[in-house]
A and B are shown apart, each in its own frame.
Chain A
């Protein structure tokens, strides 16, 4: 009201451009708007600050300020804080399990071979992406298998009970996703087929695996698979777990792919039919390239879930990343350092999963072209 009065003193069009009030701009204005906009908000802000004050300083103190960073044995941990020497001492076990020292280069080579394929795929507009995906899906698993398992090409044989740590976690998660992709695509096609028998079989398969917890699947893989096989044939524990994980994630993958198939307009099928393409030609040259592009974020999400779920294999006696940390924690010399191990595992898992989920959100935005 008063500003109206003030305006009266200026001739029309000559009102000076005043700065906004100091309390409405800059950091004060921001705080007024975002932290103290009402009585309730002010109370909540103080409550939040108090909460942060009680939590953050002790955590920082424990994790960084009072922590012991260098050393080679438990005796080096003298401070009140975390004992990161734990990670130094057990690094090899946590990363590779009991894989022989002399052969570690094989695992590292496979990591490099995988990254060589993966990094160009993540760069937008990189040429020849189809060939790179083909390399990752078909050639790389084969090379990795030869490198890890050995037994030919002059490589010594490394039996699977020696595999462990983060290495085993990656092996299970990546094998699970690579194996489940083709199976999931077939199941999704079957579920959308108009042949009642095939449709029913696919629905039964998908809903069965989606309805049971992974741990019962792993129990089944470890105790029931040996009964299913004829006498004399035997799988090792890792292969059994891998089959269980692949079947389990194939069901989830099928649902993701089905979502993509449903998003393809009917006109695409009709146009392909009008051109005289057969069912399989329509599927693989017209429908799948479009549908799979749509569901890449969904596939990444399945992979994140699978990556987190691989920790369950420690329950059936495989020593993955978390299983290895559990094993170290039962070492009589390192009994009171459970928290350090869990925090380290949590940080590693978090970076992997958070990074992937960000990547999938980014893809989702990029693929969302706004129809």
Chain B
């Protein structure tokens, strides 16, 4: 109304009343939002402490030191029924990380293969890859885990009638048995050789880059690295007289002994997680390769670069810029999905900690808090890595 007043025309706009001032308004809204959140938090906190006191549930993290009294089927560290809840937590966390790491590796392999196959000029291969992707990603993961576990692995024959591969790998309803390498004391030299090889490769990479920047000469870096990585450990093995031998699984009584045993829950979970995530990774890879304009390859060809160089120095770096962010997202999803282990009783963090330990101690708040914090921490570190990578790979524009 005031704006149409001719007396005010041409002078500075009048100062709005405090109710209409955007600054005070925003201050008011923020303050009230903050108060509402704090009050809600206090309300929930009060209810929880009251409920816990009434039900006689202890609070605090003291339970982590008490004896757990349960055993687990598979553990990377020493664990028994007389270990503490803290150790049970560690067992669960390590099992989660183990199944995630193995599945991430397999999913990446399968995913890249299927993604490239989908762009194949071979019609049959491209169509098969499409069918793989469309079938696997449209069926719930839990259903796939159940399928592998209850429909494929459980009905396998008992240990005495195991299916075998060259009498070295055995599969039965108790698990998958693989030959395991056994290292003697001298095998430490093997480890040292690997470390030295990696250090040399890092040094060589830097040196080769500097040389190319200064003189333009290239160095066969890839071949040298591969031969270093294989050659040095092999040399170490020869020099120390092969301190490694393979231990075969052998049927003794009702079960196999020796070798590496993978429990069926682990096998089912790994199979389902890696094939399911591979379908998503395949789409990421396809999109990444298609995102590199054809003109890039043509321009590189016109400059006279060889096809191997074009692929390694022109196409892949540009495709990776598009692939890596969604790929890390898929890795993150896979890690979170590994919590479905609880459905088939693979002893992961959720089953052991948010399941068994929670049932025994009843300390729901602390345990759910720790479990969520662990997953949040994993998510956060992957997100940080992704931001760092994106910054590094970002196109430098004007």
A311 is contacted by which of B134, B140, B358 (Cβ under 8 Å)? B140
- Residues of A close to B372: CB separation below 8 A: 208, 212, 216, 220
Indicate if the CB atoms of A216 and B142 lie closer than 8 Å: no
A308 within 8 Å of B (CB atoms): yes
Indicate if the CB atoms of B33 and A350 lie closer than 8 Å: no
With contacts A219-B354, A231-B50, A322-B143 taken as known, whether A213 is within 8 angstroms of B337 at the C-beta atoms is yes
A119 within 8 Å of B (CB atoms): no
- Residues of A close to B29: CB separation below 8 A: 195, 198
Query: Could you tell me the distance in whole angstroms from the C-beta of B163 to the nearest C-beta in chain A?
Result: 17
- Residues of A close to B66: CB separation below 8 A: none
Query: Could you tell me the distance in whole angstroms from the C-beta of A204 to the nearest C-beta in chain B?
Result: 10
- Minimal Cβ-Cβ distance residue in B for A190: B33
Indicate if the CB atoms of A212 and B375 lie closer than 8 Å: yes
Give 25 pairs: A residue, B residue, CB < 8 Å, sorted on A: A34-B122, A35-B122, A35-B124, A48-B125, A49-B124, A51-B128, A196-B30, A197-B30, A197-B33, A208-B376, A211-B379, A211-B380, A215-B339, A216-B339, A216-B350, A219-B371, A227-B52, A228-B48, A231-B50, A315-B340, A315-B343, A346-B139, A349-B140, A349-B143, A353-B138
Indicate if the CB atoms of B52 and A312 lie closer than 8 Å: no
In addition to A213-B350, A219-B350, A339-B151, 10 A-B residue pairs with Cβ atoms within 8 Å of each other are A44-B122, A49-B124, A196-B30, A197-B33, A198-B29, A212-B372, A216-B375, A338-B154, A346-B143, A349-B143
Inter-chain CB contacts under 8 Å: number? 148
Query: Could you tell me the distance in whole angstroms from the C-beta of B378 to the nearest C-beta in chain A?
Result: 8
For window 24-52 of A, CB contacts with B under 8 Å fall at 34-35, 37, 41, 44-45, 48-49, 51-52
Indicate if the CB atoms of B379 and A227 lie closer than 8 Å: no
- Residues of B close to A223: CB separation below 8 A: 358, 364, 368
* CA A201 to CA B34, docked complex, whole Å: 8
User: 1/0 per residue B335-378: CB within 8 Å of A?
Assistant: 01101101100000010001000100000110010011001100
For window 308-322 of A, CB contacts with B under 8 Å fall at 308-309, 311-312, 314-315, 322
* CA A196 to CA B26, docked complex, whole Å: 10
- Residues of B close to A357: CB separation below 8 A: 138
A354 is contacted by which of B47, B134, B141, B340 (Cβ under 8 Å)? B134
Indicate if the CB atoms of A322 and B140 lie closer than 8 Å: yes
- Residues of B close to A315: CB separation below 8 A: 340, 342-343
Residues of A within 8 A of B (CB): 34-35, 37, 41, 44-45, 48-49, 51-52, 194-198, 201, 208, 210-216, 219-220, 223-224, 226-231, 304, 308-309, 311-312, 314-315, 322, 326, 329, 336, 338-339, 342, 345-346, 349-350, 353-354, 357
Instruction: List the 8 closest A-B pairs by CB distance, nearest first.
Output: A211-B379, A34-B123, A197-B30, A353-B138, A213-B336, A308-B140, A213-B339, A223-B364
* CA A342 to CA B52, docked complex, whole Å: 41
- Residues of A close to B31: CB separation below 8 A: 197
With contacts A48-B125, A197-B33, A342-B151 taken as known, whether A231 is within 8 angstroms of B51 at the C-beta atoms is yes
Query: Could you tell me the distance in whole angstroms from the C-beta of B377 to the nearest C-beta in chain A?
Result: 9
* CA A263 to CA B358, docked complex, whole Å: 45
- Minimal Cβ-Cβ distance residue in A for B380: A211
B147 within 8 Å of A (CB atoms): yes
B230 within 8 Å of A (CB atoms): no
* CA A220 to CA B154, docked complex, whole Å: 31
Query: Could you tell me the distance in whole angstroms from the C-beta of A211 to the nearest C-beta in chain B?
Result: 4
Query: Could you tell me the distance in whole angstroms from the C-beta of B150 to the nearest C-beta in chain A?
Result: 5
